[in-house]
Structure formats: C-alpha cells, structure tokens
Amino acid sequence: MLSPRAPTILVFDSGLGGLTVFREIAKARPDARYVYLADDARFPYGRIPEAELTARVLAVIGDAIAAHRPELVVIACNTASTLALAQLRATFAVPFVGTVPAIKPACAGSRSKLVSVLGTEATVAREYTRKLIQEFAQGCAVHLVGSARLAAFAEAELNGASADDAEIAAEIAPCFVAVEGRRTDTVALACTHYPLLAARLARLAPWPVQWIDPAPAIARRVVDLIGPAAGPANGPATLLFTSGRMPSPTLSAALSEFGVHGSAAAK
C-alpha cells in the first residue's frame, strides 16, 4: 500500500467518459488531488491503428507523469487498457489501475446465462476481451456488441447536443437476445462513456436488464492500492485537454457536476 498522505491521482481517458470513473474514485478518496487528462485531440480511439495508438497512449501518459508526478494513474478507458496497460506498467514505475470489460461480475450475476458486452468496436475486437470470456464466462453465452457511435453520443450529450432516442436504441438493440425462452438479463458496459447515458439506456431497453458499470470496482481497487482517505476533501479536479480547447459554458456546467474545472492544455 502506498503512503497514507493525500496523493495525486491522474485519471486518463480518450475523452470525457472517464469522468464516470473519476466520480467514484473521488467519493472513495475525496482528499486526493486529481488531474483528469482527456486525449480529445485523438478522440475517438477506435479507428486508430493499434501500434500508433499504443505509442500515443505511452507518450501522452509519459508527459503527464513527468508534469504532475502522480502516485497512481487510472486508465479510465477500455480501449487503451486492453491494448496498452501491460506496456504502461512495464515502462513506468507508478502503479496503474486499468479498466477492462466487467465480464466476470456480469456472468457471475446472470440468471438467464445470456450476457452482452457493450463496448466500442475496438474493445470488443481485442483478444484481451475474448480471453476474459474464456476465463470468466462460467457457462454464460456472452454476446459481444461493438458500437460505432455511442461514445460520441455520450460526449455530445455533455456538450448539450443529445442524440435522438431512435439512434441510441439502434446502437443497443443487438445487446438484447432471446433464446429458447431465455433473454439477456445483464449488459456489461465496456466503455466508460456509456454510463453517462445510463438513464436513457435503461429507458430505451426493450426489457429490463442489469447494467454493469465498472467504476465502483475501479474505485475499490484504487483504495486497495493507495489506502483510505487520510484527510478532508480537496478542491476540484483539474481537467486537461490534449487539444488545448477550453470548455464551452454548457460543458463547464456539466463538468462542475462531476467536481472538475477546465484548464486549457495538457502540459
């Protein structure tokens, strides 16, 4: 376990979906100093070739570690974690907590034994994800669903531009499978953007399911590594965009609900 003093924790994502993870971590360690780094200059990650993306993630994270000297780094992105987490751990001495599809708890909690994993096209195509299914399916039929647009819909929603219900419903429809009287009863959200749309996903689902958000488990892992809160709550987190953009008033208002404020550029 790391030092009990209030640590600096770096939370990284391709965009703003990792705020759903940050929110849970901040509840567990409100005393920590947080830096949220969004690689919006290359969002979305799904269309970037693997070798190029790995190099990008290592470079951006390396610069952030040098600038902010965190005690812990959380990769709040399934695509980056399934691709680059092992190399990050081999390259940098700081501890990392990754975000990977929550297949184990989804399958453990399913009664119908029909489980869907809803992620980006890149995440569901990873060999890492298929290995998780092999290891943790526990007799469940696991249906992989890659969405091309849902992360962008979530990102736009924070900026005040909501997608139509029909567009979201079309993205999640393949998750719902009926086989011989059984129906999908659990959907693992394998992109941290998707919990931003949680209320709409539940409303638009053809039938009720359990939606598995990995953020609470990630927060527990952070506490395992870095210990419980050691002091009073700290101030708001600093948000850095690799593009250097400043949040719009609409986005700034949304960010304030997560306890972050905007800063111009990643340094």
User: What torsion, rounded to 10 degrees, do the Cα atoms 146, 21, 168, 122 define?
Assistant: -20
The single residue of 77, 107, 140, 175 carrying the catalytic annotation is 77
Exposure class string for 193-219: b at 16+ Cβ within 10 A, else e: bbbbbeebbeebbeeebebbbbbebbb
> Any residues with CB less than 8 A from the CB of 199 and at least 6 apart, and which?
none
CA 187 to chain centre: 15
The single residue of 107, 140, 175, 191 carrying the catalytic annotation is 191
- Burial class for 257, CB neighbours closer than 10 Å (0-12, 13-18, 19+): exposed
Q: Is 77 marked active-site?
A: yes
Say how far apart CA 155 and CA 190 lie, in whole Å: 16
Say how far apart CA 106 and CA 136 lie, in whole Å: 9
**Residues linked to residue 12 through DSSP beta bridges, in sequence order:** 37, 75
Q: Is 191 marked active-site?
A: yes
Q: 110, 186 in Cβ contact below 8 A?
A: yes
Nearest CA among 138, 147, 142 for reference residue 115: 142
> Any residues with CB less than 8 A from the CB of 42 and at least 6 apart, and which?
14, 48, 56, 242
Residues with catalytic annotation? 77, 191
